[in-house]
Structure 1
Amino acid sequence: MMSNEGYAQSFGVDRAEAEGLTVDSIQPSPAAPRADASARASHWSVVKFVSKDGEGKNIPTREGNSKFGWRHFSGPHNIHDPKVIKIVTSERPEKKDGARRVYGGVLTNRLGAVLARIKVIAQYSYKTADGDYVLADHSHKIGTITAYCERVARNKCPDAVNET
């Protein structure tokens, strides 16, 4: 599995664009920092891990619940490996709308055929867009809302996505 920009680096910008992938720039991905070890309670706001995007912004993935976060997408969308989120969010967002950020990546075979297109939606704010969930520290971010595969049944990723 790789980000859209990783695909362009491996198979060329022309081929990435022919596949309809958004590629702004070709840059190596920065290493992601470790999640906050002090948060251990089982609560929607507990940070499972943190990714750093191509703009240098920390994007946490929180425990969440049925509405957002790890619990929201890991089962229903078959994403069980944190590396999936870290890889896809390692580049610049494809789209930004206020605090909402959309990241894209692809799962390919060794020949570069796209097996799945992966989307990660993040909220770069201290509260969710609907205002139902708010972090006490307004300098912290909600982070990953959901992650899923496009163009597959029920947006459920193939098992191979977890074998990165």
Structure 2
Amino acid sequence: MDPPQPWYKIDWTTKDWDGRTIPTRHGTDDFGFVHACNDHSMCAEAPMTAPYHGTPDKWTSSTRAEYYGVALIDGEPEIKITTVAEFGHVGPNGAEAPDGKVIGTITSYCQGMTYCPYWING
């Protein structure tokens, strides 16, 4: 069994088209990879970070942005994906990363459903 990871461990980073570096931290039940995977079945890097390959679609605060993407089947749009990033240094429940970098990915989910279909991670 793998040892537990600290919440602030960066699993991967992505840059959006404006050059912002967005870490996806291992996280907790409240944010990051653990939250997206456990609460929304978004458990793979590719679909979680695909929306970052663009610019923010909506700023919900001065430091938080939503990015929208689409999962395709046979080249046709099938499921809309939203990934949310926090560009501040304090995350949910006051979490502050010891590395001084932004919090990064808060969540990623398939719009209109609680859990993404299994194939989204494949």
What's the TM-score bracket when you normalise by the shorter of the two chains? 0.7 to 0.9
For the residue of structure 2 that corresponds to 1:54, the secondary structure is: coil
Larger-gyration structure (1/2): 1
Contact 2:8 2:98 in 1 (8 A): no
**Equivalent of 1:133, from 95, 101, 119?**
95
Report the counterpart of residue 71 of structure 2 in structure 1. Answer: 107
Q: Which moved more, 1:115-124 or 1:82-91?
A: 82-91
Considering Cα pairs closer than 8 Å and 6+ residues apart, tell me whether 1 or 2 has the greater RCO.
2
Displacement of 1:115 after TM fit?
Answer: 2.0
Compared CA separation, residues 92 and 44, structure 1 to 2 (3 A) = same
Measured on the aligned residues, the alpha-carbon RMSD in Å equals 1.8
Instruction: Give matches, 1:13-162, under 5 Å.
Output: 42-96=5-59, 97-112=61-76, 114-128=77-91, 132-138=94-100, 140-152=101-113, 154=114, 156-162=115-121
Q: Quick one: which amino acid aligns to residue 112 of structure 2?
A: R
Displacement of 1:111 after TM fit?
Answer: 4.7
Displacement of 1:41 after TM fit?
Answer: 7.3
For the residue of structure 2 that corresponds to 1:74, the secondary structure is: helix
Counterpart Cα distance in 2 of 1:71 and 1:136: 19
Point out where structure 2 has 5 or more consecutive residues left out of the alignment: none
Contact 1:126 1:137 in 2 (8 A): no
Percent sequence identity over aligned pairs: 27
Q: Deviation digits for residues 22-74 of structure 1, max 9, x if unmatched?
A: xxxxxxxxxxxxxxxxxx97211000000111111110000111111111111
Q: Quick one: which amino acid aligns to residue 148 of structure 1?
A: Y
Displacement of 1:158 after TM fit?
Answer: 1.2
Q: Quick one: which amino acid aligns to residue 149 of structure 1?
A: C
Kindly report structure 1 stretches of 4+ aligned residues shifted beyond 2 Å: 135-138
Q: Which has the higher strand share?
A: 2
TM-score (normalizing by structure 1): 0.66
For the residue of structure 1 that corresponds to 2:35, the secondary structure is: helix
